[in-house]
Amino acid sequence: MPQNTASVIPSRHVASYYAASAHASPEHPALQGATTADVCVVGGGFTGISSALHLAEKGFKVIVLEATRVGFGASGRNGGQIVNSYSRDMDVIEAKYGETSARALGSMAFEGNRIIRERVATYAIDCDLKDGNLFAACTDKQMNGLIEHKALWERYGNRELELLEGDDYRREIGSQRYVGALLDHSGGHLHPLNLVLGEAAAFASLGGVIHEQSPVTGITHGDTVRVSTSRGEVRAKHVIVAGNAYLKGLLPELEGKSMPCGTQVVATAPLDEALARELLPNDRCVEDCNYLLDYYRLSADRRLIYGGGVTYGGRDPASIEAVIRPNLETTFPQLAGVGIDYAWSGNFLLTLNRLPQFGRINHNVFYAQGYSGHGVTCTHLAGRLMAEALSGQFERFDAFAGLPHTAFPGGRLFRVPLTALGAWYYRMRDQLGW
């Protein structure tokens, strides 16, 4: 039985703008002793809580075990951008995995965003939800890519897209850095920690049980699965493993097929209203089209939340501000010298084909992970598909589970330097406009 190192697990959310502005939420007691459930969920991020909430709505008895606090991982610290579809575009999915897979994945590509909006409305979750996200092109080549991207997404049913060619993008972004943009009116942005805390509260209101400070140290397979922590055990008919980049080897079957990566974010001091409106006049969020992309938006109290930088293997850089500030000031020279109130990082899980990995070990241990940097919407879809599968409807879950989970070249030792080398090549390509 693989062991996790519980002693090094922190007990609180990382210091971030989100932790500082989170709504009050109850602390859930650690698991003590033995108990039973229909479903035990490992991990209290969007994947775990979304699955738990969908299952509780269907009447399952669900227990969530979270190593730290709900929203401790990427879900409580991300850019908050609601970006539709997957980290791999539909044309690549069509070419690599054929028409049947592409049709199935395409039909679900915009569902996660709708689930989030339903959750927010049904459970009155206060998470600063705003409409519209932009993809900004830094080069003509990237702009041509956005034109193709629009046509492709329209084929799969997203018609809420608007191309902003030439200087038209300036009505949305107060930066000279781009040559155009694509606006997805059905995307948006939100306070991710308040979303996951709100969803956890909704789950608890339906009788769901959460144990925080309860790192799972082992999973013993069988018709009844035993999920162990240092102080207790849950016996369940089904288990959902939702630890993503923070799982650290709990399921050896998943090792080597994905790679944790760090990305860094800063939040400026609050900007005055006129300056905030100059940067993002209609309060959309933006990501650029570079391989190592910058992403930014305004918070409800008018801070610029700006992310970028990737570290392969998930290690933090010595200074997050030193990584992010130069890009922030290139995008918005009007912010030269702006105060940075918060700087933090988090880990996402990269897969080789940039598609999420859904699957089953034996017949009753399910997992979903590896959203490759775009997980806000797909984690919510994952939750619904888990609940469908555990109710006996496997078709949509299996459309993902049937995709290959390819190991990273180089194995555990060399996958980090090899991937960094690949990223360096793509970065050069973006900078030189190849």
Ligand X SMILES: Cc1cc2nc3c(=O)[nH]c(=O)nc-3n(C[C@H](O)[C@H](O)[C@H](O)COP(=O)(O)OP(=O)(O)OC[C@H]3O[C@@H](n4cnc5c(N)ncnc54)[C@H](O)[C@@H]3O)c2cc1C
Separation CA 304–CA 306 (nearest Å):
6
Residue 386 contacts ligand X per CB under 6 A: no
For the CB of residue 98, give the shortest distance to ligand X in the complex, in Å.
26
Nearer to ligand X, 358 or 371 (CB): 371
Binding mask 224-253 for ligand X (x = CB under 6 A): ------------------xxxxxx--x---
Binding mask 156-195 for ligand X (x = CB under 6 A): ----------------------------------------
For the CB of residue 109, give the shortest distance to ligand X in the complex, in Å.
13
Separation CA 239–CA 63 (nearest Å):
10
Nearer to ligand X, 168 or 341 (CB): 341
Separation CA 203–CA 195 (nearest Å):
12
Per-residue HEC secondary structure of 14-79 comes to CCCHHHHCCCCCCCCCCCCEEEEEEEEEECCCHHHHHHHHHHHHCCCCEEEECCCCCCCCHHHCCC
For residue 10, give the amino acid letter: P
Nearer to ligand X, 6 or 141 (CB): 6
Q: DSSP readout, 220-286?
A: E-SSSEEEE-SSEEEEEEEEEE--GGG-TTSSGGGTTS-EEEEEEEEEESPPPHHHHHHH-TT--EE
Among 208, 375, 384, 408, binds ligand X (CB under 6 A): 375
User: Which residues, listed in sequence order, are joined to residue 133 by a DSSP beta bridge?
Assistant: 184, 285
Residue 259 contacts ligand X per CB under 6 A: no
For the CB of residue 432, give the shortest distance to ligand X in the complex, in Å.
27
Residue 258 contacts ligand X per CB under 6 A: no
Stretch 41-80 residues interacting with ligand X (CB under 6 A): 42-48, 65-68, 72-75, 77-80
Contact 44, 64 (CB under 8 A): yes
Contact 158, 122 (CB under 8 A): no
Binding mask 334-373 for ligand X (x = CB under 6 A): ------------xxx--------------------x-x-x
Residue 132 contacts ligand X per CB under 6 A: no
Residue nearest to ligand X (CB): 375
Contact 182, 163 (CB under 8 A): yes
In this structure, what are the phi and psi dihedrals at residue 358, rounded to the nearest 5 degrees? -115, 145
Contact 376, 112 (CB under 8 A): yes
Nearer to ligand X, 180 or 308 (CB): 308
Task: Give 108's contacts (C-beta < 8 A, 6+ positions apart).
Answer: 381, 385, 396, 399
Residue 85 contacts ligand X per CB under 6 A: no
Tell how far CA 61 is from the center of its chain: 26
Separation CA 76–CA 280 (nearest Å):
23
For the CB of residue 346, give the shortest distance to ligand X in the complex, in Å.
3
Nearer to ligand X, 263 or 290 (CB): 263
Residue 286 contacts ligand X per CB under 6 A: no
Q: Which stretch binds ligand X (CB under 6 A): 29-37, 40-48, 143-151, 323-331?
A: 40-48
Q: For ligand X, how many residues bind (rule: CB under 6 A)?
A: 45
Query: Rounded to the nearest 5 degrees, what angle is found at the Cα of 201, between the Cα atoms of 77 and 23?
Result: 50
For the CB of residue 347, give the shortest distance to ligand X in the complex, in Å.
6
Residue 374 contacts ligand X per CB under 6 A: yes
For the CB of residue 166, give the shortest distance to ligand X in the complex, in Å.
27
Q: Which of 403, 415, 376 is nearest to 259 (CA)?
A: 415
For the CB of residue 4, give the shortest distance to ligand X in the complex, in Å.
5
For the CB of residue 380, give the shortest distance to ligand X in the complex, in Å.
10
Q: Which of 314, 376, 406, 404 is nearest to 87 (CA)?
A: 376
Strand, helix or coil for residue 405? coil
Residue 203 contacts ligand X per CB under 6 A: no
Residues that bind ligand X (CB under 6 A): 4, 42-48, 65-68, 72-75, 77-81, 83, 215-216, 242-247, 250, 263, 265, 295, 307, 346-348, 369, 371, 373-376, 379
